C-alpha cells in the first residue's frame, strides 16, 4: 500500500509570507546556493510524520479533530530570525515564533501524546517554533548570508491560530508540493 509523506502544521497569514518574501528578495543577491521556501509554502510545523501508510492518515485526521475541538484559537507573534545549527555553518534560515502563553507548546505535546498512542514515533528533539525561510545548499558565503539574515529587522506580526492542518508533502526537484489532506478548526468554547 502507498505511503504518503506528511506533517502537521499551522498556516500563517499573508502579511507574514509577504515579509518573508521581502527578506528573501534582499538575500537572493548573495552568491550562495539557497533553496528559498516559496512564500505560499511557509508554515509552522507542529510534527513531522514522514512516510505514513495511506490507511493510517484518516486516524491522524480524527486525532486532530479531537484535539481541535477542545482548543480555542490563540495568538502567536513572529520574532527575530535564527539559523540551524550555527551561524558559522548555517543550514536552515528561519523566523522564530513567540508563544507567549505556552499554548503552542501545550498543543504540540498533546499532538505527540495522542499520536504516540497510535504508534507514531515521538519527536526526540526539543520543539522550536519556526518558519523556514530557506535551506542553504552551498558552503560558499554561507557565513556572510547568515550574518546578513540575522541582522535583518523582521517586523513583528501577531496572528491567530485557527486550524490544524494535516499536510501531504511531495518532494519535487523544484521544491516540495504541499497539499492539505485534512483541516481541523480550533473550536471557540462557549
Instruction: Please give the residue ranges that form the binding site for ligand ATP (CB under 6 A).
Output: 5, 7, 35, 45, 48, 132, 135, 169, 171, 175-176
CB of 114 to ligand ATP, least distance (A): 18
According to DSSP, the β-strands at 163-170 and 177-185 are antiparallel
CB of 45 to ligand ATP, least distance (A): 4
CB of 115 to ligand ATP, least distance (A): 13
Contact 51, 3 (CB under 8 A): yes
- Cβ-count burial 93-115 (b if 16+ within 10 Å, e if not): bbbbbebeeebbeebbebbbebb
Nearer to ligand ATP by C-beta: 23 or 168? 168
Q: Which residue has the cell 484559537?
A: 73
Q: From CA 135, how far away is CA 119, in angstroms rounded?
A: 30
CB of 129 to ligand ATP, least distance (A): 11
Q: Which residue has the cell 558565503?
A: 141
CB of 108 to ligand ATP, least distance (A): 12
89 forms bridges with which residues in the sheet? Answer: none
Nearer to ligand ATP by C-beta: 131 or 186? 131
Nearer to ligand ATP by C-beta: 33 or 187? 33
Nearer to ligand ATP by C-beta: 48 or 118? 48
Nearer to ligand ATP by C-beta: 35 or 138? 35
Q: Which of 1, 41, 17, 49 is nearest to 166 (CA)?
A: 49
Nearer to ligand ATP by C-beta: 101 or 180? 180
Q: Which residue has the cell 498533546?
A: 110
CB of 162 to ligand ATP, least distance (A): 19
Q: What is the largest CA-CA distance in the chain?
A: 55
Q: From CA 58, how far away is CA 72, in angstroms rounded?
A: 23
Amino acid at each position: 500500500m502507498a505511503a504518503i509523506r506528511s506533517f502537521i502544521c499551522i498556516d500563517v497569514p499573508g502579511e507574514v509570507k509577504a515579509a518573508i518574501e521581502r527578506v528573501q528578495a534582499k538575500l537572493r543577491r548573495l552568491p550562495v546556493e539557497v533553496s528559498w521556501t516559496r512564500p505560499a509554502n511557509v508554515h509552522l510545523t507542529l510534527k513531522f510524520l514522514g512516510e505514513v501508510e495511506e490507511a493510517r492518515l484518516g486516524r491522524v485526521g480524527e486525532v486532530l479533530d479531537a484535539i481541535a475541538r477542545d482548543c480555542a484559537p490563540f495568538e502567536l507573534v513572529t520574532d527575530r530570525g535564527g539559523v540551524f545549527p550555527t551561524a558559522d555553518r548555517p543550514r536552515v534560515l528561519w523566523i522564530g515564533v513567540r508563544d507567549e502563553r505556552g499554548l503552542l507548546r501545550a498543543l504540540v505535546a498533546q499532538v505527540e501524546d495522542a499520536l504516540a498512542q497510535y504508534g507514531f514515533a515521538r519527536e526526540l528533539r526539543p520543539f522550536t517554533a519556526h518558519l523556514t525561510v530557506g535551506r542553504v545548499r552551498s558552503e560558499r558565503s554561507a557565513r556572510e548570508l547568515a550574518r546578513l539574515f540575522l541582522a535583518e529587522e523582521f517586523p513583528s506580526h501577531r496572528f491567530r491560530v485557527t486550524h490544524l492542518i494535516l499536510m501531504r508533502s511531495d518532494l519535487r526537484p523544484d521544491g516540495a508540493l504541499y497539499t492539505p489532506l485534512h483541516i481541523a478548526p480550533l473550536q471557540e468554547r462557549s
